[in-house]
Amino acid sequence: MRMGVLDIGSNTGHLLVVDAFRGGPPVPAYSYKEPLRLAEHLDGTQAVTPEGVQRLVDYVLGARQVAEDKGCRTLLAFATSAVREAVNADEVIERVTSESGVDLQVLAGPDEARLTFLAVRRWFGWSSGRLCVFDIGGGSLELAVGADETPDVATSVPLGAGRLTREWLAAGKSADDLRAHVRATIAEEAGPILRGGAFDRAVATSKTFRSLARILGAAPSGEGPYVQRSLRRADLGELVDRLGELTTEQVAQLPGVSSDRAHQMRAGALVAEATMDLFDVETLDICPWALREGVLLEHLDHL
């Protein structure tokens, strides 16, 4: 069946149209995305501004039309940390639903981590053993670990690349202070994850990790999803220093970096480096599937 998965993230709205059926992988058919930057449309009270709400409504209306034009019978729509943490989240959801007719669900942080873990498990399979999965989004960092399809631990912490850029680097705070904050925050979550023992495989998903890996020599997306891609901690340490010396315009010229995310790559690299250090991971495998695929897979399982 043809389905649409609509992901309203802190940075981007992304509709992925897929041909899906139980027992097989969802096959991408079309992609429609727009840099909404909802996290940057929060006012001093942490409410989404009228401009931000209007941008969201307009995008969802457009995404619904695209989904219909592409023949989708089902549209699964969800929002993550920017909407989840907004003080006017209920009003935002009600506005989107009333004007677009799209049932936009807000995912809790642990559900984000759990569904991303499901996607990674399905991609790499049972032979990967005990998996640890990391996902840096615009507003939060998700961590999950386990040996089954449902992780033993799934958690979310407010260490998204966009959030940290806005609240720390763009606010004039030092990178050293940000580094200390990131590491202390991750360390508070490390105990339950490490208590179960070593990982058989450590995996990273989503745009920030993919971009970091691409900068450091991983294959471009045009070579397809089945090419093995990875990120080495030894290489990442040098990149963190290098990103601190480049302008946003120069970062945007690096391979795998889009212009709308270039400004937050330094913060994302600091989080990635801290994650690999604190969990003693030398190499992360990059998974092409992430939250959108996890939402879709769980939906198919329940049909």
Strand ranges, E, within the chain: 2-8, 13-19, 27-34, 74-79, 104-106, 131-136, 141-146, 153-157, 201-205, 230-232, 283-287
What pLDDT is recorded for position 39? Answer: 87
Q: Reduced to 3 states, what is the DSSP secondary structure of residue 132?
A: strand
Rounded CA gap, 287 and 203, in Å?
7
Rounded CA gap, 242 and 79, in Å?
33
Q: Is the pLDDT of residue 24 over 90?
A: no
Choose among 233, 232, 238, 220: nearest CA to 288: 220
What tens digit of pLDDT does each residue of 171-211 get?
A: 999 999 999 999 999 999 999 999 999 999 999 999 999 99
What pLDDT is recorded for position 105? Answer: 96
Q: Is the pLDDT of residue 279 over 90?
A: yes
What pLDDT is recorded for position 23? Answer: 84
Choose among 131, 138, 175, 158: nearest CA to 279: 131
What pLDDT is recorded for position 22? Answer: 81
What tens digit of pLDDT does each residue of 141-172 get?
A: 999 999 999 999 999 999 999 999 999 999 99
Q: What are the two backbone dihedrals, phi and then psi, of residue 288, each rounded to the nearest 5 degrees?
A: -75, -20
Classify residue 11 by its DSSP letter. Answer: S
Rounded CA gap, 149 and 209, in Å?
22
Strand ranges, E, within 110-220: 131-136, 141-146, 153-157, 201-205
Q: What percentage of the chain carries pLDDT values higher than 90?
A: 94
Rounded CA gap, 170 and 151, in Å?
35
Q: Quick one: pLDDT band at residue 28, thresholds 50, 70, 90?
A: very high
Domains by residue range for the chain, with CATH? 2-106 (3.30.420.40), 109-292 (3.30.420.150)
- Which amino acid belongs to residue 267? A
What pLDDT is recorded for position 40? Answer: 87
Mean pLDDT estimate for the chain = 96
Q: Which residue has the higher pLDDT, 37 or 132?
A: 132
* Mean pLDDT score, 230-245: 95
What tens digit of pLDDT does each residue of 82-119 get?
A: 999 999 999 999 999 999 999 999 999 999 999 999 99
Burial class (CB in 10 A: 0-12, 13-18, 19+), 49: middle
Interior angle at CA 215, CA 225 and CA 204, nearest 5: 50
Burial class (CB in 10 A: 0-12, 13-18, 19+), 125: exposed
Q: Is the pLDDT of residue 69 over 90?
A: yes
Choose among 105, 9, 66: nearest CA to 298: 105
